[in-house]
Amino acid sequence: MIKESIILAGGLGTRLRSVVSDVPKCMAPVAGRPFLYFVIEHLLNQGVDTFIFSVGYKSDMIIDYVNEQYPALNKQFSIEAEPLGTGGAVKLACSLVTEKDVLILNGDTLFKIDVEWVSGFHTSCDADCTLSLKPMNDFDRYGVVELNEDASIASFKEKQFYESGLINGGVYAQNVASFMQEDLPQKFSFEKDYLEAYFDKRKMFGIIQDEYFIDIGIPEDFEKAQVELGAGSQE
């Protein structure tokens, strides 16, 4: 099972400025705790035991919180001197990974995937990258991912209104060596410049995980998280 993780925690949270003070997005207070707490706790509960925090904006705030709240955690910090995009952040953090595969996820999204199931699927497919996909209805905030019959990625479709579809939940099982050998720039988007550019040239698969999902990137969902995570009513 994949037990090492990269948490992308460098986001500025500009769309949350109306409801949250000037803090990294993953540190936005939800139910009395930084949102990052819920992400870390889910991974610990799933058996993940090694953490690499990819930080940039106000990194000291995240580093201090993690060191104080989780002093015994097996952790490292990958610090961006300047914004590198999600892809550049992953590339920098991957230099610290010690295992063959790593779990990559966003610090401002909680997707309660079954890590053991994803890990087994990823390994059985000998995949370069495995995306965890969330079924969703009546949405326009996300694009849609389509799968072939063998669960390989068939296409990425743009954001628009969809009655139903599978969205990219932002959690990836990634083969580190195959990613690091790609000819990618220092600054790039993991989603656009890696996933969408290489899905038909590499072994990329999707696994459907109909589990609790919340992305606090906009004020409406930030407020929704206060209620759901505060009440422990995730489904």
- Using DSSP, how many helices (H) and how many strands (E) does the chain show? 7, 13
> How large is the average pLDDT for residues 32-54?
98
pLDDT over 80 (residue 180): yes
> What is the pLDDT at residue 217?
87
Max distance between CA atoms of the chain, in angstroms, equals 47
> What is the pLDDT at residue 11?
75
pLDDT, tens digit (0-9, with 9 covering 90-100), for 49-68: 999 999 999 999 999 999 99
Separation CA 27–CA 22 (nearest Å): 10
CATH ID of 4-231, from 3.90.550.10, 3.50.50.60, 3.30.2130.10, 3.40.50.10490? 3.90.550.10
**pLDDT band, very low/low/confident/very high, at 232 (cuts 50, 70, 90):** low
Phi, then psi, of 165 in degrees rounded to 5: 170, 175
> What is the pLDDT at residue 147?
98
Give me the percent of the chain exceeding a pLDDT of 90. Answer: 91
**pLDDT band, very low/low/confident/very high, at 23 (cuts 50, 70, 90):** confident
Separation CA 11–CA 80 (nearest Å): 11
Are residues 84 and 139 in contact, defined by beta-carbon separation less than 8 angstroms?
no
> What is the pLDDT at residue 231?
76
> What is the pLDDT at residue 10?
87
> What is the pLDDT at residue 58?
93
Please give the structure tokens belonging to residue 141: 């905030």
> What is the pLDDT at residue 72?
98
Provide the pairing of β-strand 50-55 with 4-8: parallel
> What is the pLDDT at residue 29?
94
**pLDDT band, very low/low/confident/very high, at 12 (cuts 50, 70, 90):** confident
The three-state secondary structure class of 119 is: helix
Please give the structure tokens belonging to residue 70: 């989780």
> What is the pLDDT at residue 234?
52
Instruction: Enumerate the domain spans of the chain.
Output: 4-231
Burial string for 204-233 (b: 16+ CB within 10 Å, else e) reads bbbbebebbbbbbbeeebbeebbebbeeee
> What is the pLDDT at residue 206?
98
Contacts of residue 21, Cβ cutoff 8 Å, sequence gap at least 6: none
pLDDT over 80 (residue 168): yes
